[in-house]
A and B are shown apart, each in its own frame.
Chain A
Amino acid sequence: MFVELNITLRVSRHPARNGKAFDEYRVQLEERMSVLDALFRVQREQDSSLGFRCSCRVGMCGTCAVYVNRVPRLACSTLVRSLECDVLTIEPLPHYPIVKDVAVSLQPFFEQWRRAKPAFRPRKPEARDLARIPKDSKYRRLTPTKRDCITCGACFAACSIVGMNDHYLGPAAINKAFLRVLDPRDAAREERVKVLDRSLDGVWRCHTQFNCTAVCPRHIDLTDSIVRIKRALFWPGRLLKP
């Protein structure tokens, strides 16, 4: 049996239409519908000018991240019913330039991502054998839960330091660098550590507020990665040893 939901969707409009920053739509949804379904329903049935982004629709690509009731979430993986509200406010993610309505450009996120040198640089580029990672190695033990980043930018939007400091690397870039720093096959450790250690915009700016961890749709403990990098910089022998 389907249960129908009647909700009001308040959607941020950019540029503002008729002097209004938000438009309101009354929408009827079925029980298992997501925030993205609600946006599509509005676009198809009420307002074809509504702009938002999406791609895979199954929580894999990270394209549809929006600010739902002041929390960064993936629109495709957030069930409207789970939010338990009558009015759903949808805004563009903070800390990003707005392209249209709730669609943002992830340019600031990827600028920092690039600074963290995310690409793997092998120690032995000529090697043809498969690398062996021992089961009990730190890399194997610490990284399985941290590899799932889909670069949705939700952590960057939730981070209060990013809001104050445009130069801060941000949680996802630090997590990516953390994975590379731990990787015994990687040859660019010193370069990455130099970027992470910068007092202006490196890991030291993090206030350990856990906002990034709280909003990550892949449940990556990003704050843990940042704290581990801080500890490693304090005691390099413990974590940064190849």
Chain B
Amino acid sequence: MFRSAWEWYLQRVTGGLLLVLLVAHFWVEHFMSAPLRHGHLTYQVIQARISNPAWQAIDIAFLIIALYHGLNGLRNIILDYGRLEKRGVAVLTMVLVVVGAVWAWWGIRAFSRL
């Protein structure tokens, strides 16, 4: 398979996953537990949930999927304008990979502080 084909395919897969994850995220954040529904939201309620390894795995997957979709989408928009040469595309891709990696690391590291 060609590399660009992978990028195109993953953009669609992550788009589909984001649709599911965003709806789930909204529901979890606003309606899932009784304290939330009754307006008794506390730090301890949230901490208890995100200390759970299963929730952590979902949140980290959400973060990585959103980062890939967003940054690859940004790359596509820039390429659509056709102002870059081959070298420019390579530099752009590297910059976005670094930004994505740092952003993901930053987000994942937050879980270790719980």
Contacts and interface: CB of A to CB of B under 8 A. Distances in A.
Interface stretch (B4-12, B42-50, B63-71): B4-12
Contacts of A201: 82
Contacts of B7: 199, 204
Interface residues on B, range: 10 to 19
Given A199-B89, A234-B9, A204 B81 contact: no
Contact of B1 (A165, A167, A236): A236
A168 B79 CA distance: 10
Given A199-B89, A233-B2, A234-B1, A167 B8 contact: no
A165 B82 CA distance: 5
A199 B79 contact: yes
A192 interface: no
Given A165-B81, A205-B79, A230 B89 contact: no
Contact of A204 (B1, B4, B82, B86): B4
Interface string B55-84: 000000000000000000000100111101
Contacts of B86: 200
A198 B76 CA distance: 13
A234 B9 CA distance: 8
B57 to A, nearest CB: 28
Interface in B3-31: 4-9
Contacts of A166: 82
